[in-house]
Amino acid sequence: MTNILALQDVSMTYYTKTSQTQAIKNLSLEVKKGEFMSILGPSGCGKTTLLSLISGTLKPTEGKITLNGKEIDGTTTEIGYMLQRDHLFEWRTIYKNITLGLEIQHKLTGENLDHCERLIEKYGLKDFVKHYPNQLSGGMRQRVALIRTLALNPDVLLLDEPFSALDFQTRLQVCDDVHAIIKSEGKTAVLVTHDISEAISMSDRIAILTSRPATLKRIHETNLQNVKTPLLRREAPTFAKQFETLWKEVKNDEK
């Protein structure tokens, strides 16, 4: 498999009037096409900063990030971003929320709308297109948020703890849901999380970061690709062992 996304020696420093904080230090990482990678690290280690860098909303102080071999310069629709909350626009119908990205891009063409229709139909949102977000459950809203991201047909999906606002029951469900949709659309995904079991159950590989300034500690392979859904993976024989290993590694870094 070829690399779709590559970070080379990326560093990021924030400045304030009185101090400077290095959030990321010499981080190098490759994400292969079609894989699901999680980025795991102690809370406050700069994971969200990392996603902002990849999405092009921030520029690294040093190093470079390439997507399909091209250096990322500013935001691009080749990268889709899913945030911690669904952030659906309450005043727009579900359909209008899903087509928001296309509207911004002035790409409301027949072909793109057909793509949206297909996603809407395939992922069971057809009955809700005329609804407003506050008429939907938390899990459904998160699904709409994912479809909104997919509507722009990005190569890479960035997921910034997209399940953290959901209760545990819904969370497991939505994990399965999102995982299935991403796999069936054949997308590359980068998930940022501090939830170890979520990382193991969702991903093919896990990049473990150190505490601030974040740098790559190690890459962990879950070897669970043959188990289909995140929920089933939680019951895999090696799950508990992996959890323990990762937990120790992350904990050792927390201060």
Partner 1 sequence: MTKNEYLSAEHRQFVKKIKLRKLAVTGTQIGVLCVFMLLWEVLAATNVIDPFLMSCPSRVWATLCDLYYDGQLFHHVWISLYETVLGFLIGTVAGTLIAVLMWWSKWIREVFEPYVVVLNSLPKIALGPLIIVWAGTGQKAIVTMAVLISVIVTIITMLGGFLQTSPEKILLMRTMNANKAQIFLKLVFPSNMTTLASCLKINVGMAWIGSIMGEYLSSKAGLGYLIVYGGQVFKMDLVMTCTIVLCVLAGGMYFLVSLLEKFLVRWQN
Q: Which residues bind partner 1 (CB under 8 A)?
A: 55-57, 75-77, 79-81, 83-85, 87, 89-92, 100-101, 103-105, 132, 134, 152
DSSP 185: T
Least Cα distance to 220 among 197, 246, 251 occurs for: 246
Smallest distance from partner 1 to CB 158, Å: 8
Classify residue 17 by burial, with Cβ atoms within 10 Å: 0-12, 13-18, 19+. Answer: exposed
Smallest distance from partner 1 to CB 204, Å: 24
- For partner 1, the closer of residues 88 and 208 by Cβ is 88
Smallest distance from partner 1 to CB 136, Å: 13
Smallest distance from partner 1 to CB 120, Å: 18
- For partner 1, the closer of residues 156 and 200 by Cβ is 156
- For partner 1, the closer of residues 81 and 95 by Cβ is 81
- For partner 1, the closer of residues 42 and 154 by Cβ is 154
Rg of the Cα atoms in the chain: 18
Q: How many C-beta atoms lie closer than 10 Å to residue 75's C-beta?
A: 11
- CA–CA gap between residue 84 and residue 198 (Å, rounded): 14
Smallest distance from partner 1 to CB 202, Å: 21
- Which residues have a Cβ under 8 Å from the Cβ of 59 and sit 6 or more positions away? 53
Centroid of chain to Cα 181: 13
Record the tokens describing residue 187, joined without a space. Answer: 């997308």
- For partner 1, the closer of residues 105 and 109 by Cβ is 105
